[in-house]
């Protein structure tokens, strides 16, 4: 669960029980971010998906050590660290934001094992969930109301077996059988390039896609100052 994961700020999320199994509604931190001070989100029809799997992919002796040539393919199979700290590549700032609002959170590892949980929520908010299982992917693309807040989501396929995360397809792997496109799932709404490299979100837009909306920039750096990005998510639709 998200409760066992640490934010890079050093604040540990509290294990507050929610009405749904496998989901927690984190408590407001002792020192809330000023722009959302005193705010408390009460609508439990919204669920945020924390990118625990992606955080593991980017860790030391993880996937990217193999991609850089610093490790052999043994680094493409990892014992999952469920207490890993989130960072820039795993949407830490967004998690701090939603945590302070008290919005229910679930990590994508837990959701991969229980994909039916998405059907219990009216609105799903995806973050930088780059590495996912096929079961997770199918559950997300079949949900009618998903907000893809970060480009590069649903990008590469992994397998999860007994707590071990293994890259199956994506990022040019496997070399002798590359995926049909840059996206391992051949997802029609793939939006990594160029949106992932727009870090300022000056001309941000929420684009309507088949089962929800996509943001056309990577909001990690500006999330606390550009609150209008979040306003769109919380409007009724």
The answer as to whether 224 is a domain residue is yes
- Residue-number span of the structural domain to which 195 is assigned: 2-12+42-234
Whether 86 contacts 92, CB under 8 Å = yes
Which residues have C-beta within 8 Å of that of residue 165, sequence separation ≥ 6?
53, 56, 57, 77, 78, 79, 80, 131, 158, 159
Q: What is the mean pLDDT of residues 102-114?
A: 93
The answer as to whether 17 is a domain residue is no
pLDDT of 53 strictly over 80: yes
> What's residue 160's pLDDT?
97
For residues 166 and 76, give the distance between their C-alpha atoms in angstroms, rounded to a whole number: 6
The answer as to whether 80 is a domain residue is yes
DSSP state of 174: S
CB neighbours of residue 74 within 10 Å: 10
Q: Is 77 helix (H, G, I), strand (E, B) or coil?
A: strand
pLDDT of 17 strictly over 60: no
Whether 127 contacts 91, CB under 8 Å = yes
Whether 157 contacts 166, CB under 8 Å = no
> What's residue 8's pLDDT?
53
Which of 147, 142, 144, 167 minimizes the C-alpha distance to 157? 167
For residue range 133-184, list pLDDT tens digits in order: 999 999 999 999 999 999 999 999 999 999 999 999 988 888 766 555 679 9
For residues 11 and 73, give the distance between their C-alpha atoms in angstroms, rounded to a whole number: 33
Which residues have C-beta within 8 Å of that of residue 2, sequence separation ≥ 6?
13, 24, 26, 50, 52, 95, 105, 106, 107, 110
pLDDT of 77 strictly over 70: yes
pLDDT of 22 strictly over 50: no
More confident residue, 1 or 53: 53
Q: Structural domain tally of the chain?
A: 1
pLDDT of 28 strictly over 70: no
The answer as to whether 33 is a domain residue is no
The answer as to whether 146 is a domain residue is yes
> What's residue 44's pLDDT?
64
**How many Cα atoms are found within 13 Å in the side-chain-facing hemisphere of 165?**
28
The answer as to whether 30 is a domain residue is no
> What's residue 7's pLDDT?
54
The answer as to whether 116 is a domain residue is yes
For residues 199 and 152, give the distance between their C-alpha atoms in angstroms, rounded to a whole number: 13
The answer as to whether 189 is a domain residue is yes
More confident residue, 38 or 87: 87
3-state secondary structure 181-226: CCCCCCCCCCCCCCHHHCCCCCCCCEEEECCEEEECCCCCCCCCCC
More confident residue, 35 or 44: 44
pLDDT of 199 strictly over 60: yes
More confident residue, 177 or 28: 177
pLDDT of 216 strictly over 70: yes
Q: Which of 11-25, 112-126, 135-149 has the lowest mean pLDDT?
A: 11-25
> What's residue 203's pLDDT?
95
Where do we find the tokens 């160029």? 194
pLDDT confidence tier of residue 43, bands split at 50, 70 and 90: low
Cα dihedral 61/67/70/73 (nearest 10)? 70
- Average pLDDT of the residues of the chain: 83
């Amino acid at each position: 669960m998200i409760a066992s994961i640490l934010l890079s700020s050093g604040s540990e999320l509290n294990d507050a029980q929610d009405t749904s199994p496998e989901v927690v509604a984190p408590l407001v931190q002792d020192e809330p971010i000023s722009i959302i001070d005193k705010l408390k989100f009460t609508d439990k029809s919204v669920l945020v998906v924390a990118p625990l799997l992606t955080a593991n992919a980017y860790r030391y002796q993880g996937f990217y050590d193999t991609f850089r040539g610093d490790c052999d393919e043994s680094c493409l199979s990892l014992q999952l660290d469920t207490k890993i700290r989130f960072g820039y590549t795993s949407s830490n700032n967004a998690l701090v934001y939603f945590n302070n609002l008290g919005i229910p959170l679930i990590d994508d590892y837990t959701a991969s094992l229980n994909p039916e949980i998405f059907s219990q929520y009216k609105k799903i908010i995806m973050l930088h969930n780059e590495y996912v299982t096929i079961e997770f992917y199918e559950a997300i693309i079949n949900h009618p109301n998903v907000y893809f807040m970060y480009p590069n989501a649903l990008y590469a396929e992994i397998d999860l077996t007994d707590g071990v995360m293994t890259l199956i397809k994506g990022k040019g792997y496997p070399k002798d059988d590359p995926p049909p496109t840059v996206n391992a799932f051949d997802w029609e709404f793939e939006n990594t390039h160029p949106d992932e490299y727009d870090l300022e979100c000056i001309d941000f837009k929420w684009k309507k896609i088949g089962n929800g909306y996509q943001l056309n920039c990577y909001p990690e750096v500006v999330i606390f100052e550009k609150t209008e990005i979040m306003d769109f998510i919380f409007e009724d639709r």
